[in-house]
Chain A
Amino acid sequence: MAEALHALSASAAVPRARPPWALRLAPALTLAAFVLPIVAGLAGTLLPAFGWLPALGGRELGANAWRALGAAPGFATALRLSLFTGWAATVLSLALALGIVAFVHHRPWARRLGEAMAPMLAMPHSALAIGFAFLILPSGWVARALSPGLTGWELPPDVATVGHASGWPLVAALLLKEVPYLVLMTLAALNQVPARAQVTVARSLGYGPVQAWFAVVLPQVYAQIRLPVYAVLAFSLSVVDVALILGPGNPPTLAVLAVRWFGDPDTRWVFPASAAATLLLAVVAASIALWFGAERVLGRWALVLLQRGVRRRRSAWLGGAATAAGAALLAAALASMGAMALWSLAAQWRWPDALPSAWTFANWQRQAGSLWLPALTTLVVAAASTLISLALVVACLEHESRQRVARPSRSLWLLYLPLLVPQVAFLFGLQVLLVRLGADGRLSAVIWAHLVFVLPYLFLSLADPWRAFDERYTRAALALGASRWRAFWRIKLPLLLRPLLLSCAVAFAVSVGQYLPTLFAGAGRVATLTTEAVTLAGGADRRVIGTWALLQAAFPLAVYWLAAATPRWLFRRRKALA
């Protein structure tokens, strides 16, 4: 087969037809679909930051909002806290992810690991955070399991874990999802590079497996994980739900402060809120720039170091430590969701019982009536935004491959904009835009708002496998007489089915977990599982929260399972594809 394809590439006699108009429009359409809301939203937040919001009496541009921000009690601490937790979470998650990949990549179960970690990403981070909080509270599951037997505590100790001033529980909870995400992205990038062979060569030169990976493979794949790392950095700096649950409250992080002020009944707080959101945007931009600069400096220094030939064979234990930490994170995530599952079946669970003292199905029965509509809405919105994104992304990628463009055009950087701009920085402005268009509160507005965030994730997951597709298969099909459409539909798509379904699963999970966009675009009329869960979390009944959290996680998990199982079943007799 390979020889046949080899012959084909030499001929390249296939005429280069102009791609159909649908494909040519695709990139422009894609960009318009979400650059518009972001730009409008940013403008709608930037202007009040400098005093302009006529509806609330702001008719003069000035720096008053900034002065109010600076004078707000706890502002400096909030900013410091955001910077610390954001950077710590990103640096730690990258270090752990790279250590884990370096340690496991050559083992046969590495591929399975990638598949196992993907469903962890399906767990919505707010539900995970609540479960994790219950785990580490002084009156939480770990303490209950150990008390009073091992610890001798009759009452929960008065020790701060959740809400600790340093923000470490927030960092830990962010790691729960960021480490699997980066591991997944790195493993995917490894497919582009003969990693195993190169590491074998480096090992034969005397380098340990972990050091060999870092020296030889990482420099080649870092360019591909750069954007996911930036996305993680932006998210960690600007996350709201997790910071609300686990972070300190007095003062909270800058993002939480902004959201709190946006919701203050005294509408004059909209101005400092906009200033805070704008500052957050600036912080994210500056952080990314700083990280980029650090990459170059560290990269140069690393190359010099490599050429000194120092072999550190004992570095293998670092990889082992990272993997052990990763396993601990996985255990914590599973325990968090397990705790939520137990709570959903609990009638009564008081300190210091290690398990609920009374069990019941009543929680599920009580919630069933109010569950089905939000569940259906969640499904519809997620499916619609995923399918529309898929159509746009496939059209863009196919257009790119037909043009035989080797590297993506620079305008596609805009595609990653929603991942890099803090949500809180443009959602208020977006709400005003939607009201003006009369579109707020409609399902279509929510789908559009979700599309903005779903599309980049789908693109990120699908782009590399798509570009790595060997076009000679298509050319072989065309040479055999198939039309372009048939070659695409019968040859290219089935061969790319697995990465396609996996990226759809990612997109679906992203949509299910969205909170602020649904709230703002839906004007509160559109209830999804996540909006309901966060609202009910305000009532602090863990049995209710547990029930909704499980459901929130169940949907994406089901879709992930389908995405993994479908190719395996469809191609059960085709070993190369299954």
Chain B
Amino acid sequence: MNAALRLQRVRLAIGGRTLIGPLSATVQPGECLTLMGPSGCGKSSLLAWMAGTLDPVFEAEGRVTVGDTDLGPLPPEARRVGILFQDDLLFPHLSVAGNLAFALPAAVRPASERRARIEQALADAGLAGFGERDPATLSGGQRARVALLRTLLAQPRALLLDEPFSKLDAPLRDELRRFVFEHARDSALPTVLVTHDEADAAAAGGALVRLEAT
């Protein structure tokens, strides 16, 4: 069973100037917390801090926990927190199935079971048979869907979304939004969305925190 994501008195600063905080929030499994604010207000940095990849030039205080686990002392690879960026960042040297297999935990065995899981995931996303395709030959929307599948296949405990829809044009955005939030809800993942688009927040349907410009 998945646990809730909790932020406790999180504060982000650079050069002594506070960017965000102090911020406290709790995100239940399946719910989505939206952080809205203009560019440069530090929201992506907050996600980076939660994922464990914050640039050392920032100063950060506070705690982030998933259930009982404090993520603070853990390195990024041990946190099991999935992150989705604006760019799909599919690995060009692997096929679509290869990208997904890379994310699938090694515990899933034998190879036939792995293949089955990947096929299932692709079929669910409407990309049946796309396994052997080169990621570069997919459309933007298809790539974004594969990116989400990849993140989910790694069985994360929480999901972070760093403006993942902003590079797509309007009709695709709607479709992808529905896709992402549906899957997040189905997997019962506490999700944090960072965006500057009101429509994204509306689709997320969860708590909304507005961050001030600095």
Interface stretch (choices A205-213, A346-354, A518-526) = A205-213
In the bound complex, residues from chain A placing their C-beta under 8 Å from that of B150 are 205
In the complex, what's the smallest C-beta–C-beta distance from B122 to chain A, in angstroms? 15
If A206-B105, A309-B108 touch, whether A198 touches B83 (CB-CB below 8 Å) is no
In the bound complex, residues from chain A placing their C-beta under 8 Å from that of B103 are 205, 309
If A200-B53, A309-B103 touch, whether A205 touches B154 (CB-CB below 8 Å) is yes
In the complex, what's the smallest C-beta–C-beta distance from B165 to chain A, in angstroms? 17
In the bound complex, residues from chain B placing their C-beta under 8 Å from that of A307 are 94, 97-98, 101-102, 114
If A197-B85, A201-B85 touch, whether A309 touches B101 (CB-CB below 8 Å) is yes
Bound together, the chains give a CA A198 to CA B93 distance in angstroms of: 12
| Mask: chain B, 56-98; 1 = CB below 8 Å from A; 0 = not | 1100000000000000000111111111010101011110011
Which partner residue on chain B sits nearest A312 by CB separation? B106
- B7 at the binding interface (Cβ < 8 Å): no
User: Which residues 343-366 of A sit at the B interface, judged by CB distance below 8 A?
Assistant: none
Which partner residue on chain A sits nearest B55 by CB separation? A108
The answer to whether A303 and B76 touch across the interface, beta carbons within 8 angstroms, is no
If A200-B53, A220-B92 touch, whether A313 touches B77 (CB-CB below 8 Å) is yes
The answer to whether B85 and A309 touch across the interface, beta carbons within 8 angstroms, is no
User: Which residues 309-324 of A sit at the B interface, judged by CB distance below 8 A?
Assistant: 309-311, 313
In the bound complex, residues from chain A placing their C-beta under 8 Å from that of B104 are 309
If A307-B101, A309-B105 touch, whether A204 touches B82 (CB-CB below 8 Å) is yes
In the bound complex, residues from chain A placing their C-beta under 8 Å from that of B79 are 204
The answer to whether B93 and A200 touch across the interface, beta carbons within 8 angstroms, is no
The answer to whether A203 and B76 touch across the interface, beta carbons within 8 angstroms, is yes
Bound together, the chains give a CA A203 to CA B52 distance in angstroms of: 10
- A439 at the binding interface (Cβ < 8 Å): no
Which partner residue on chain A sits nearest B88 by CB separation? A201
In the bound complex, residues from chain A placing their C-beta under 8 Å from that of B55 are 108
User: Which residues 173-194 of A sit at the B interface, judged by CB distance below 8 A?
Assistant: 194
- B176 at the binding interface (Cβ < 8 Å): no
- A216 at the binding interface (Cβ < 8 Å): yes
Bound together, the chains give a CA A490 to CA B9 distance in angstroms of: 52
The answer to whether B77 and A203 touch across the interface, beta carbons within 8 angstroms, is yes
In the complex, what's the smallest C-beta–C-beta distance from A165 to chain B, in angstroms? 42
- B35 at the binding interface (Cβ < 8 Å): no
- B27 at the binding interface (Cβ < 8 Å): no
If A200-B51, A203-B76 touch, whether A310 touches B106 (CB-CB below 8 Å) is yes
The answer to whether A201 and B89 touch across the interface, beta carbons within 8 angstroms, is yes
Bound together, the chains give a CA A198 to CA B55 distance in angstroms of: 15
User: Which residues 195-240 of A sit at the B interface, judged by CB distance below 8 A?
Assistant: 197-198, 200-209, 212, 215-216, 219-220
Bound together, the chains give a CA A292 to CA B55 distance in angstroms of: 38
The answer to whether B77 and A309 touch across the interface, beta carbons within 8 angstroms, is no
- The interface on chain A, measured as residues whose beta carbon lies within 8 A of the other chain's beta carbons, has a size of 27
- A63 at the binding interface (Cβ < 8 Å): no
In the bound complex, residues from chain A placing their C-beta under 8 Å from that of B57 are 108
Bound together, the chains give a CA A208 to CA B76 distance in angstroms of: 8
In the bound complex, residues from chain A placing their C-beta under 8 Å from that of B76 are 200, 203-204, 209
In the bound complex, residues from chain A placing their C-beta under 8 Å from that of B97 are 307
In the complex, what's the smallest C-beta–C-beta distance from A194 to chain B, in angstroms? 7
Interface of B, helix, strand, loop or mixed by DSSP: loop
In this complex, which of A205, A220, A311 has the most chain B Cβ atoms within 10 angstroms of its Cβ? A205
Bound together, the chains give a CA A203 to CA B54 distance in angstroms of: 13
In the complex, what's the smallest C-beta–C-beta distance from A441 to chain B, in angstroms? 53
User: Which residues 20-76 of B sit at the A interface, judged by CB distance below 8 A?
Assistant: 51-53, 55-57, 75-76
In the complex, what's the smallest C-beta–C-beta distance from B208 to chain A, in angstroms? 25
Bound together, the chains give a CA A201 to CA B48 distance in angstroms of: 11
| Mask: chain B, 146-184; 1 = CB below 8 Å from A; 0 = not | 000011001010000000000000000000000000000
The answer to whether A198 and B89 touch across the interface, beta carbons within 8 angstroms, is yes
The answer to whether B94 and A311 touch across the interface, beta carbons within 8 angstroms, is no
- A25 at the binding interface (Cβ < 8 Å): no
Bound together, the chains give a CA A206 to CA B57 distance in angstroms of: 24
In this complex, which of A108, A198, A307 has the most chain B Cβ atoms within 10 angstroms of its Cβ? A307
Bound together, the chains give a CA A309 to CA B113 distance in angstroms of: 13
Bound together, the chains give a CA A220 to CA B136 distance in angstroms of: 13
In the bound complex, residues from chain A placing their C-beta under 8 Å from that of B106 are 308-311
The answer to whether B56 and A201 touch across the interface, beta carbons within 8 angstroms, is no
The answer to whether A204 and B81 touch across the interface, beta carbons within 8 angstroms, is yes
In the complex, what's the smallest C-beta–C-beta distance from A53 to chain B, in angstroms? 51
Which partner residue on chain A sits nearest B156 by CB separation? A204
The answer to whether A108 and B89 touch across the interface, beta carbons within 8 angstroms, is no
Contacting B91 at CB < 8 Å: which of A108, A198, A311? A198
The answer to whether B98 and A306 touch across the interface, beta carbons within 8 angstroms, is yes
The answer to whether A108 and B56 touch across the interface, beta carbons within 8 angstroms, is yes
Bound together, the chains give a CA A215 to CA B103 distance in angstroms of: 12
In the bound complex, residues from chain A placing their C-beta under 8 Å from that of B83 are 200-201, 204
If A200-B83, A307-B101 touch, whether A209 touches B91 (CB-CB below 8 Å) is no
In this complex, which of B81, B102, B108 has the most chain A Cβ atoms within 10 angstroms of its Cβ? B102
The answer to whether B77 and A303 touch across the interface, beta carbons within 8 angstroms, is no
If A203-B76, A311-B77 touch, whether A220 touches B93 (CB-CB below 8 Å) is yes
In the bound complex, residues from chain B placing their C-beta under 8 Å from that of A201 are 83, 85, 89
Given A209-B77, A220-B92, 4 extra CB contacts under 8 A: A201-B89, A204-B154, A220-B93, A306-B102
22 A-B contacts (beta carbon < 8 Å): A108-B56, A197-B87, A203-B75, A204-B51, A204-B77, A204-B81, A204-B82, A205-B77, A206-B78, A206-B105, A209-B77, A212-B77, A216-B91, A303-B98, A306-B102, A307-B98, A307-B101, A307-B114, A308-B101, A308-B106, A309-B104, A309-B108
Residues of B within 8 A of A (CB): 51-53, 55-57, 75-83, 85, 87, 89, 91-94, 97-98, 101-106, 108, 114, 150-151, 154, 156
Residues of A within 8 A of B (CB): 108, 194, 197-198, 200-209, 212, 215-216, 219-220, 303, 306-311, 313
4 closest A-B pairs by CB: A307-B101, A219-B93, A203-B76, A310-B106
